[in-house]
Amino acid sequence: MQSISNIKSISYLKSHAAQIAEDLEMNGQPFVITQNGEASMVIQAVQQFQEKEALIAALKIMALGEKDRTAGKGISASASRVQLKAARQSRK
């Protein structure tokens, strides 16, 4: 986990929003915004957010696949190849 060095107050965010947006675009480091001395939100670049969301989705798919595998619901790689080959042949 990366350490977050950009910790700013909500009043700083209000007065420097454009500068924060520029910093996010240039270096991609997220900002932790505090309210009454406690962390209340994280601001990050859209690209970084989208990458994290895609990673989370991929991890969920992998976890579901592993759950099915351990429950005996999966098939072997060779059986999968046979199924794919049969499906391709039926389309021709």
Per-residue pLDDT of 43-52, as tens digits, reads 999 999 999 9
Q: For 6-45, what is each residue's pLDDT tens digit?
A: 999 999 999 999 999 999 999 989 999 999 999 999 999 9
Count of H helices and E strands in the chain? 4, 3
pLDDT exceeds 70 at position 2? no
Angle at 18 between CA 50 and CA 26, to 5 degrees: 55
pTM exceeds 0.85, yes or no: no
Q: What distance in Å separates the CA atoms of residue 14 and residue 36, rounded to the nearest whole number?
A: 15
Give CA 7 to chain center in angstroms: 22
